[in-house]
Amino acid sequence: MLALGLGWGMFFLLKGVRLVALCELALMLLGAAVVVSALRERIRLAAWLAFIGLFVFVCLFSALLDVQTAQIPRSTHLFLLVLAACAHYVFRSEAPWLRYGLVGLFLAAFVVFAAMPQGIPGHDAIADDVRRIGIWVNLLTVVASLLVVLHLQESDSAAHRALHRALRDALASRRFVLFYQPQRDAQGRIVGAEALLRWRDPKRGLVAPGDFIQAAEDTGFILPLGQWVLATACQQLRQWRAHPRLGQLQLSINVSALQLRQPDFVPQVLTALQHAGIEGHRLTLELTESVLLDDLQSAVAKMRALRAAGIQLSLDDFGTGYSSLAYLRQMPLTELKIDRAFVAGIETDPHAASIARNLLRLGHDLGIDVIAEGIEEHAQYAYLRDHGCTRFQGYLFGRPMERTDFEALVDAAPPSPMD
Ligand code: C2E
Ligand code: MG
Ligand code: MG
């Protein structure tokens, strides 16, 4: 965008067509704004700026400046096809109505310009001799861009298919494993653990969920995978049942939006508990706010049914989503889990510390336990404890570890005042 604006801007400036040169300058500035946003890691903002800015630019340019004559057809509107193809690719993780709404908007504008070649009268259209060169440049750029987008989409979906196949094979060959990260209370006792998924791949090594959960969600594979996590966690609780310490622990598992949306999610959980012969209150399901936003009423109904069986419900990554008090009050949660973004900033960022304090107060006001995750420093732990936090999880107390290491850790823990 920067290069295109600069190139055409110089060209029109040399030709003495100032209005067009100014438009190209605006395009260049837009390009700069997009680059700055991307460098600041505000990728979504950068994408929206780029697409909406380019759309407005192409439409105005097509209507006012690139006006069809008997000799030379209009060509700027062809960029709307590139925008549509790019939007289809770039916005693939957005909600379908947004993604296809945007693509539809660009294609509709293309149709309008193709069907109505005349421009808005009274403006300085670009001269035909300039547009004669422009049409070649524009057409070649459009065709090359479309080829690049097609190539990107193809290689992306090939990689996606390969990953999906690898995940399916991994489940069939039992290459998924649960790691356990200890959760402690204010006295330092291990009172529970979060089960975190790992994929032991012969080629890739130990793969963290960040590298495959999104793909598993996109392909629906998270459903069988989530069932495996649920069944494995319940079996683990059963194996620990007779142990004096392990038998007292609470085990948390993560549940994705797609899982909760299944009409038979509640019976699935109850059956897994029944099969393993364990009580509901030993299991905690961690949900994120996005899970709840999809269809609040049905989510709340399922949560109530789970609570009726004693199952604990935790709101994961709390503070990063959209929950309002109105939402929170409706949900039968037993725990709020403060996201590690706020914990990390406690010592350095007064805003993060103030948010952490407010989240703790909110939990207290709602009568819900609050756990903080991502605690790495003793000072973070002390701050949270002094402000009413009752449960703690983070590298300071133990990283996610293999089952045997976790069992050894619990065994080796000094007797608590309650023992
Ligand atoms: P989460 O549920 O918020 O889990 C906490 C993540 O923070 C874990 O990353 C954990 O290893 C990491 N963590 C814990 N303490 C610290 C700390 O002190 N410092 C830092 N920097 N990180 C810490 P992990 O295991 O890579 O999991 C990432 C995410 O993947 C999880 O976030 C969860 O959303 C998802 N996930 C993991 N297992 C499952 C699963 O079985 N099902 C589903 N649907 N999602 C899962
Ligand atoms: Mg979690
Ligand atoms: Mg979390």
pTM over 0.85: no
**Range list for CATH 3.20.20.450 in the chain:** 175-412
Where is average pLDDT lowest: 151-155, 358-362, 370-374, 411-415? 411-415
Ligand 3 center to residue 185 CA distance, Å? 18
User: For residue 55, is pLDDT > 70?
Assistant: yes
- Residue 122: which pLDDT band, with cuts at 50, 70 and 90? low
Q: Find the mean pLDDT for residues 374-384.
A: 95
For 17, which DSSP code? Answer: -
User: Could you say which ligand is closest to the alpha carbon of residue 213?
Assistant: 1
In total, the chain counts a number of residues equal to: 419
Q: Does residue 323's CB lie within 6 angstroms of at least one atom of ligand 1?
A: no
pLDDT for the residue numbered 3: 66
- Residue 2: which pLDDT band, with cuts at 50, 70 and 90? low
| Contact status, residue 63 vs residue 125, Cβ threshold 8 Å | no
Hey, what are 188's tokens?
């330092």
pLDDT for the residue numbered 273: 97
Residue 106 vs residues 4, 43, 87, 120, 223: alpha-carbon distances, Å: 20, 21, 9, 19, 35
User: For residue 415, is pLDDT > 60?
Assistant: no
Cα torsion through 379, 391, 418, 254, rounded to 10? -140
Residue 374, burial from CB neighbour count under 10 angstroms (0-12, 13-18, 19+): middle
Digit-coded pLDDT (tens) for 156-192: 888 888 888 999 999 999 999 999 999 999 999 999 9
User: For residue 419, is pLDDT > 60?
Assistant: no
Q: Does residue 401's CB lie within 6 angstroms of at least one atom of ligand 1?
A: no
User: For residue 61, is pLDDT > 70?
Assistant: yes
Q: Does residue 319's CB lie within 6 angstroms of at least one atom of ligand 1?
A: no
Q: Which CATH architecture has domain 175-412?
A: Alpha-Beta Barrel (3.20)
**Rounded to whole angstroms, how far apart are CA atoms 99 and 108?**
14
| Contact status, residue 235 vs residue 197, Cβ threshold 8 Å | no
The residue contributing the CA closest to ligand 1 atom 35 is 209
List of residues 6+ apart from 94 with CB closer than 8 A = none
pLDDT above 90: percentage of residues in the chain: 60
pLDDT for the residue numbered 417: 45
Q: Does residue 257's CB lie within 6 angstroms of at least one atom of ligand 1?
A: no
User: For residue 254, is pLDDT > 70?
Assistant: yes
Sign of CA dihedral 305, 264, 234, 320: negative
Hey, what are 61's tokens?
């340019």
Taking the CA of residue 259 as reference, the ligand 1 atom at the shortest distance is 44
Where is average pLDDT lowest: 81-85, 151-155, 327-331? 327-331
Q: Find the mean pLDDT for residues 220-233.
A: 96
User: For residue 293, is pLDDT > 70?
Assistant: no
Q: In this predicted model, which residue has the larger pLDDT, 264 or 417?
A: 264
Phi first, then psi: what are they for 309, rounded to 5°?
-90, 5
pLDDT for the residue numbered 390: 93
Q: In this predicted model, which residue has the larger pLDDT, 44 or 373?
A: 373
pLDDT for the residue numbered 44: 82
**Rounded to whole angstroms, how far apart are CA atoms 273 and 253?**
13
User: For residue 413, is pLDDT > 90?
Assistant: no
DSSP H or E stretch at residue 178: strand 176-185
pLDDT for the residue numbered 329: 83
Q: Does residue 374's CB lie within 6 angstroms of at least one atom of ligand 1?
A: yes
Q: Concatenate the DSSP letters of all residues of 74-112 into one string.
A: --GGGHHHHHHHHHHHHTTTS-HHHHHHHHHHHHHHHHH
Digit-coded pLDDT (tens) for 20-30: 777 778 888 88
Ligand 2 center to residue 339 CA distance, Å? 9
pLDDT for the residue numbered 212: 93
Where is average pLDDT lowest: 43-52, 298-307, 410-419? 410-419
pLDDT for the residue numbered 294: 65
- Residue 1: which pLDDT band, with cuts at 50, 70 and 90? low
Mean pLDDT (the chain) is 89
**Rounded to whole angstroms, how far apart are CA atoms 415 and 419?**
6
Cα torsion through 9, 11, 16, 22, rounded to 10? -10
pLDDT for the residue numbered 125: 78
For 243, which DSSP code? Answer: S
User: For residue 123, is pLDDT > 70?
Assistant: no
Hey, what are 189's tokens?
């006792």
User: For residue 16, is pLDDT > 70?
Assistant: no
Q: Find the mean pLDDT for residues 359-368.
A: 91
Residue 329, burial from CB neighbour count under 10 angstroms (0-12, 13-18, 19+): exposed
Q: Does residue 229's CB lie within 6 angstroms of at least one atom of ligand 1?
A: yes
